[in-house]
Amino acid sequence: MMIKDLDARVATIWEGLRPITKKLLVGSMESSGIPHSNNQVQKFEYDVHADWELSRLLNALDQRKREKDAGAEQEAARLAETCALILETQSASAEVFVQLAARAINQHDYARLDRLSDHLMDRFSPAEVAEIIRQTDYPQIRAIAYESLSMVSVRALLPLVNDPVYADIAISALEQKAYEYDSEEARDVLDRLEDQFGMMPSQS
């Protein structure tokens, strides 16, 4: 892999990667760029630092200008895809989810967007899903995240109602549960909140 053939920013970020992260990328690329299992990645000690490194490298690769050298462009695309696949299977960062989902939307890769949304609640807590809603301006990503929140239990949403950062989001998710999914429990919670505050917290 000739990183020096790519642009200077990508090369600089690559040089700053820890050896363990480089091994993870090279190993994944040698196996067609697809981490076949969590164990395959975990043997490289995937951690929060690797999450940040891969996200930064993927961002640089996606932002780089198209090279005249077709070989270099192909190598850059392959490296970017490897970063994205590892992050997709390992990351539990709201910021990285937004990055990957926005990338899928911009590339019109709706199969990948569906795959990301299918695993959203498997990897993220309700608070992290609410953070995804806070961080994105993409209506598609917000809709996916709200849909996921509407599928969790009312009990799991209650702590968010008491958090001023996420209260509006939690109320919206409860309203979706109550009126789109006909949840009597969610309606009861909304009625109690309205009685308590005299109006919905999202209106205050």
**In the chain, % of residues over pLDDT 90:** 62
DSSP for residue 108: T
Nearest to 80 by CA among 62, 98, 65, 93: 62
**Residue 176, CA distances (Å) to 30, 117, 166 in order:** 45, 17, 15
Place of tokens 């630092």: 49
Query: pLDDT by residue (tens digit) across 113-171?
Result: 999 998 888 889 999 999 999 999 999 999 999 999 999 999 999 999 999 999 999 99
Q: In this structure, which amino acid lies at residue 106?
A: N
Nearest to 79 by CA among 102, 99, 53: 53
CA distance 55 to 49: 10
Dihedral sign from CA coordinates of 97, 98, 99, 105: positive
Report pLDDT for 70. Answer: 52
Find all residues with CB under 8 Å of 189, minimum gap 6, and list them.
Answer: 154, 158, 161, 174
CA distance 23 to 81: 16
